[in-house]
Structure 1
Amino acid sequence: MPTWIALLRAVNVGGRSYPMAQLRAVLTEAGYGDVETHIQTGNVRLTSPLRSRAKLESELERLLSDDRGFTVEVVALTPAELAEIAADADELSEADPPSGGHYVSVLKTAPTDAGRRTIETDPPEGERVHVRGRAVHLLYDKPYHEARRSNAAVEKALGTSTNRNATVVRALAAKWGA
């Protein structure tokens, strides 16, 4: 049975509460296997007979939105994809260490060439943007809240995404990656 990493967008922020114990219970009751969560930001590992990423995301979004009463967008990855994103984060941080932080926006769909050019070209001073597959790496030499190329800018240029600190991405990959 395929293993998936589901990253939930914007849960446990702004009144959009989803306690991880309740999330695990809902997923287990719905028939997903080996359900685990990591910290409170909506990181879930599960198994499912579904092999289509789009079908899995759609089914999880419906299930979780029905349970919560608000939209819960899901970005799904395979363990190998998660490991690759973490490896890219290591490579990019080692090549040009950010003094303010490294964040990764994981996209729901592959970026277009035009969108990629928009987000990568001419970033503001102290900001570097690298698109690798479905991941946008945001490296800052300033605090995250001061950055202009944030997850909101990523979504404007490339579509739905969910953002994690590179430290969390590395921890997830160590725990659940291929």
Structure 2
Amino acid sequence: MATYLAFLRAINLGAKRVFPKDDIRRVVESVGFEEVVTHINTGNVRFESRMRSRERIERTLETAFAADRGFEVPTIVYGAKEFAALAAETRQLDEENPGLARHYVYLLKDELTTSQVADVEARASDKGRMVVRGRAAHALLEPGYQDGTVDPLGAASRLGAATNRNASVVLALAEKWCSAWMR
């Protein structure tokens, strides 16, 4: 059995897209995944599966979530080892960039093309910059970045299917769920 982490996008954002963590756990178990646990109520779930195809796992979960909720729930899945590596990169970027106001990690369903990476990373300004590594895009935001917009660098729309978590959540989940793969 392999360990996976799934990140659900656009849930619990209002009265119509409610998906409590106990229901998430129930649905993930209903499709045959085991050792299912969730972290807070923001769509973070860890489970074990015999399936080896990330894309198949994502489709299985998205189909089950839509059937249960009545709305689409885009889902981004990482293997535990892959997520541990992402967390190590997140920690390294934090260490290399002291004084950041915020560090958000966009978890991507698919890797970006070379030209997409160049476009996203070109969004740098005095508000911060984007760094793309594999299936993650890091928004490194400088003090004073707040201008009332959700996406101050204008990069989120260029990432394809993605969801974000702040760096502290990424590090906490890796420590909690991927400790066997952490350095």
TM norm structure 1: 0.92
Unpaired runs of 5+ residues, structure 2, are: none
- Match in the other structure for 2:136: 135
Q: Give 1:108 shift.
A: 0.2
Q: Give 1:98 shift.
A: 4.3
- Match in the other structure for 2:153: 149
Unpaired runs of 5+ residues, structure 1, are: none
What does the per-residue CA deviation read over 1:63-95, in whole Å, with 9 as the maximum and x for residues that have no partner?
011100010011000111111111111111111
Supply the RMSD in Å over aligned alpha carbons.
Answer: 1.5
- Match in the other structure for 2:65: 64
Quick one: distance in 2 between partners of 1:69 and 1:42?
16
What SS class does the counterpart of residue 89 from structure 1 fall into? helix
What SS class does the counterpart of residue 46 from structure 1 fall into? strand
- Match in the other structure for 2:5: 5
Q: Give 1:29 shift.
A: 2.6
Provide the identity percentage. Answer: 41
- Match in the other structure for 1:52: 53
TM norm structure 2: 0.90
Aligned length: 175
101-110 or 117-126, larger mean C-alpha shift? 117-126
- Match in the other structure for 1:84: 85
Relative to 1, partners in 2 of residues 1:126 and 1:40: Cα closer, same or farther, differing over 3 Å? same
Q: Give 1:171 shift.
A: 0.6
Q: Give 1:96 shift.
A: 1.2
Quick one: distance in 2 between partners of 1:103 and 1:90?
12
